[in-house]
């Protein structure tokens, strides 16, 4: 599954069918499914992820037909994409290439498309080749020679396989313009260029063959060391494989080649967060954003795809929040009631920032909306019930458990939370029900809330204490504390057990000092700002292991927020 489908949640949203068709390579069907979702009533692309996927579908079908040697059939697909997104250089180039390869009738339009692409990126080698061949076919040989000289000049700044073939013949004159430029253009769009090798490597990664995909990227980097895109994709594959330090080195090498490469900039921040170097990630994003703002003239839009904007805001808000600035995180995230439908994980991050920023009512409202919008996702039900428990809203928590996907009786997480609801309501809970420690389903995604054996044991201790078995409660708490699971709620249970025992096993015992849960966000932020990300993550791990019902333990966990990003590469 792609990065975005993992970040957005499950298969419940309207564009899921289109996305599934897209990832299955059925681009024409995907385009038909996504078109009404992607275009506003005026026919302009909406600023949403359906629009991004629609563009990918048009591009994919156009490329497929070009590779199949059917440029005339590719023209309408690429023409639609180029007209809807006029500032995307690759769309302009491919539209122009399809026109030129389809015959002489569209040469003027092909030339105009090439020059639109070059206005966006003057060093776009393929677009310069299209310009030269269009001019040659229009009997403007002197201008064609100038275009080829400009292509060679771009080779001082970028690398491309075409350069090895053309540089030895430069400078060009009207009578030395090669007559086989069309065949080179066919190689570019027909699968003989490194771009097709990239597509093959990406396909391997999407299929789960990450090491094979990485091997392909390693080979591409070795053959084309000046291509920042290849190094960035290599870094993404390394990140997915958990080789963070190597990923950081690869993305730094990409930025050394092009310091303004947006994808590499965001990937660097992601890798730093994953390495628990959260303060560095925050500082990196702030420096990048300052440089971007300075580079854009006032009022001039920057053509950034909606999905990149969303993903970038997610990473920036996460680093900001973990460093203790919940309000700053909120400022970086999209708002509005539609945000949850469009980007569920970002809306969940907003709920966390509201909670940590002292806005519990807003947090509960947002979590309720997410649980309704994503009714088939246990994660959103879990965090909502957890926050209702923390607010003492036992009735509402019980009602929400009745909405658990598949029924509350089918999932140990729901059963655990249900026991806590009954305890909060003063109802009886049998020790056998709480103490049988059922395993979480294997379908629980990595990083999401789980009920560990330790959490079940502590729940059993609370039940035993309520039933008058202080000795059993004392024993469990003592064993958990000895194993390093020392938290404020555990000490409360153990202290209550000691009072009930009045001596015996508890004789001479003193409650150990433990940091209050209320101060956890500040302690975690302090550790991150001091560069001790490992210490911060260990602190949240301890809370999550014993208390999966405490949302703050998940809000402050790097693993919780980055787990769904493991399928990053697109």
Question: Where are the domains positioned within the chain?
Answer: 3-190, 194-275
The length of the chain, given as a count of residues: 570
Predicted local distance difference test score (pLDDT) of residue 336: 61
Q: What angle do CA 381, 382, 387 make, to 5 degrees?
A: 100
CATH class name, domain 194-275: mainly alpha
pLDDT digits (tens, 9 = 90+) for 302-358: 556 666 778 889 999 999 999 999 999 999 987 665 555 667 889 999 999 999 999
Helix axes 244-257, 228-240, angle to 10 degrees: 170
**Among 475, 505, 511, 507, which residue's Cα sits nearest to residue 492?**
511
Dihedral sign of CA atoms 404, 321, 316, 534 in order: negative
Residue 442 clears pLDDT 90, i.e. is over it: no
| C-alpha–C-alpha distance, residues 435 and 34, integer Å | 49
Predicted local distance difference test score (pLDDT) of residue 569: 43
Predicted local distance difference test score (pLDDT) of residue 19: 77
How close are the terminal C-alpha atoms of the chain, in Å? 10
CB 75 within 8 A of CB 98: yes
pLDDT digits (tens, 9 = 90+) for 265-302: 999 999 999 999 999 999 999 999 999 888 766 655 55
| Weakest-pLDDT range from 106-110, 249-253, 338-342, 418-422 | 338-342
Tokens of 541: 């791990």
Q: Does an H or E element contain 184, and which? A: helix 181-190
| C-alpha–C-alpha distance, residues 336 and 245, integer Å | 37
Our measurement of the distance from residue 445's CA atom to the centroid of its chain's CA atoms, rounded to an integer in Å, reads: 15
pLDDT digits (tens, 9 = 90+) for 454-486: 999 999 999 999 999 999 999 999 999 999 889
Using only C-alpha atoms, the chain has a radius of gyration, in whole angstroms, of: 29
Percentage of residues in the chain with pLDDT exceeding 70?
89
Say what the pTM is. Answer: 0.76
Same fold, 3-190 and 194-275: yes
User: What average pLDDT is seen over the chain?
Assistant: 87
Question: Which pLDDT band holds residue 411 (cuts at 50, 70, 90)?
Answer: confident
Per-residue pLDDT, averaged over 178-182, amounts to 92
For residue 411, give Cα distances in angstroms to 356, 390, 435, 441, 484: 28, 21, 15, 7, 28
Residue where the block lists tokens 């890798």: 271
pLDDT digits (tens, 9 = 90+) for 354-389: 999 999 999 999 999 999 999 989 999 999 999 999
CB 10 within 8 A of CB 377: yes
Predicted local distance difference test score (pLDDT) of residue 157: 77
Per-residue pLDDT, averaged over 491-510, amounts to 92
Burial class (CB in 10 A: 0-12, 13-18, 19+), 299: exposed
**Among 402, 359, 362, which residue's Cα sits nearest to residue 381?**
402
| C-alpha–C-alpha distance, residues 13 and 357, integer Å | 30
Question: Which pLDDT band holds residue 8 (cuts at 50, 70, 90)?
Answer: very low
The residues that bridge with 39 in the sheet, in sequence order, are: 45
| Weakest-pLDDT range from 118-127, 204-213, 555-564 | 204-213
pLDDT digits (tens, 9 = 90+) for 159-171: 777 888 888 888 9
For residue 359, give Cα distances in angstroms to 353, 365, 422, 489: 8, 10, 27, 23
Predicted local distance difference test score (pLDDT) of residue 428: 83
Backbone φ, ψ for residue 45 (5° rounding): -60, 130
Alpha helix positions (H), 209-359: 210-223, 228-240, 244-257, 262-274, 278-295, 306-322, 326-332, 339-342, 344-356
Per-residue pLDDT, averaged over 441-450, amounts to 76
| C-alpha–C-alpha distance, residues 48 and 342, integer Å | 7
Predicted local distance difference test score (pLDDT) of residue 2: 41
| C-alpha–C-alpha distance, residues 355 and 242, integer Å | 30
CATH topology of domain 3-190: 1.25.40
Residue 499 clears pLDDT 60, i.e. is over it: yes
The residues that bridge with 45 in the sheet, in sequence order, are: 39
Q: What single DSSP character describes residue 260?
A: T
Question: Which pLDDT band holds residue 408 (cuts at 50, 70, 90)?
Answer: low
| C-alpha–C-alpha distance, residues 358 and 353, integer Å | 9
Per-residue pLDDT, averaged over 212-221, amounts to 89
Predicted local distance difference test score (pLDDT) of residue 567: 45
Q: Does an H or E element contain 95, and which? A: helix 89-102
Per-residue pLDDT, averaged over 539-560, amounts to 95
**Among 304, 297, 302, 308, which residue's Cα sits nearest to residue 270?**
308
Percentage of residues in the chain with pLDDT exceeding 90?
59
Per-residue pLDDT, averaged over 92-100, amounts to 95
| C-alpha–C-alpha distance, residues 308 and 215, integer Å | 26
For residue 221, give Cα distances in angstroms to 154, 205, 234, 261: 19, 16, 8, 17
Tokens of 443: 């379908």
CB 318 within 8 A of CB 303: no
């Amino acid at each position: 599954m792609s990065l975005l489908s993992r970040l957005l949640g499950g298969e419940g949203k309207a564009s899921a069918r289109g996305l599934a068709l897209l990832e299955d390579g059925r681009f024409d069907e995907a385009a038909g499914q996504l078109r009404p979702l992607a275009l506003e009533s005026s026919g302009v692309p909406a600023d949403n992820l359906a629009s991004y996927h629609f563009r990918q579908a048009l591009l994919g079908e156009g490329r497929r037909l070009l590779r199949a040697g059917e440029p005339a059939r590719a023209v309408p697909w690429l023409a639609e994409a180029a007209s809807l997104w006029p500032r995307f250089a690759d769309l302009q180039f491919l539209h122009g290439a399809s026109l030129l390869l389809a015959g002489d009738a569209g040469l003027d339009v092909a030339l105009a498309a090439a020059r639109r692409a070059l206005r966006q990126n003057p060093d776009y080698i393929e677009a310069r080749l299209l310009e030269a061949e269009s001019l040659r076919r229009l009997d403007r040989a002197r201008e064609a020679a100038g275009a080829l000289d400009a292509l060679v000049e771009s080779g001082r700044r970028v690398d491309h396989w075409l350069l090895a073939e053309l540089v030895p013949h430069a400078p060009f004159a009207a009578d030395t313009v090669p007559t086989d430029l069309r065949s080179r253009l066919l190689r570019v769009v027909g699968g003989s260029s490194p771009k097709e090798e990239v597509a093959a490597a990406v396909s391997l990664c999407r299929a789960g063959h990450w090491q094979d995909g990485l091997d392909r990227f390693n080979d591409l980097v070795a053959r084309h060391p000046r291509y920042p895109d290849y190094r960035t994709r290599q870094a993404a594959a390394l990140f997915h494989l958990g080789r963070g330090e190597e990923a950081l080195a690869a993305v730094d090498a990409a930025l050394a080649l092009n310091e303004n490469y947006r994808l590499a900039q965001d990937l660097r921040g992601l890798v730093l967060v994953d390495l628990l170097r959260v303060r560095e990630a925050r500082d990196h994003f702030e420096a990048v954003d300052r440089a971007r703002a300075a580079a854009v003239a006032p009022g001039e839009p920057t053509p950034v795809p909606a999905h990149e904007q969303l993903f970038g805001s997610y990473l920036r808000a996460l680093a900001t929040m973990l460093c203790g600035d919940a309000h700053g995180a909120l400022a970086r995230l999209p708002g509005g009631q539609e945000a949850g439908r469009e980007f569920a994980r970002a809306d969940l991050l907003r709920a966390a920032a509201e909670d940590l920023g002292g806005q519990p009512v807003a947090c509960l409202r947002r979590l309720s909306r997410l649980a309704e919008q994503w009714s088939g996702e246990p994660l959103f039900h879990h965090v909502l019930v957890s926050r209702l428990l923390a607010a003492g809203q036992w009735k509402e928590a019980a009602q929400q458990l009745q909405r658990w996907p598949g029924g509350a009786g089918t999932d140990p997480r729901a059963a655990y939370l249900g026991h806590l609801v009954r305890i909060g309501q003063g109802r009886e809970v049998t020790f056998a029900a709480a103490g049988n420690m059922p395993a979480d389903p294997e379908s629980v995604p990595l990083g999401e809330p789980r009920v560990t054996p330790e959490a079940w044991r502590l729940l059993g201790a609370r039940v035993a204490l309520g039933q008058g078995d202080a000795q059993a409660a004392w024993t469990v708490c003592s064993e958990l504390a000895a194993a390093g699971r020392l938290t404020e709620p555990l000490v409360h249970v153990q202290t209550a057990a000691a009072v009930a025992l009045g001596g015996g096993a508890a004789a001479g015992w003193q409650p150990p000092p433990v940091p209050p849960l209320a101060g956890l966000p500040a302690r975690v932020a302090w550790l991150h700002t001091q560069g001790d990300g490992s210490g911060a993550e260990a602190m949240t791990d301890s809370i999550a292991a014993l208390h999966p019902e405490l949302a703050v333990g998940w809000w402050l966990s790097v693993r919780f927020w980055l787990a769904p990003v493991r399928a990053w590469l697109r």
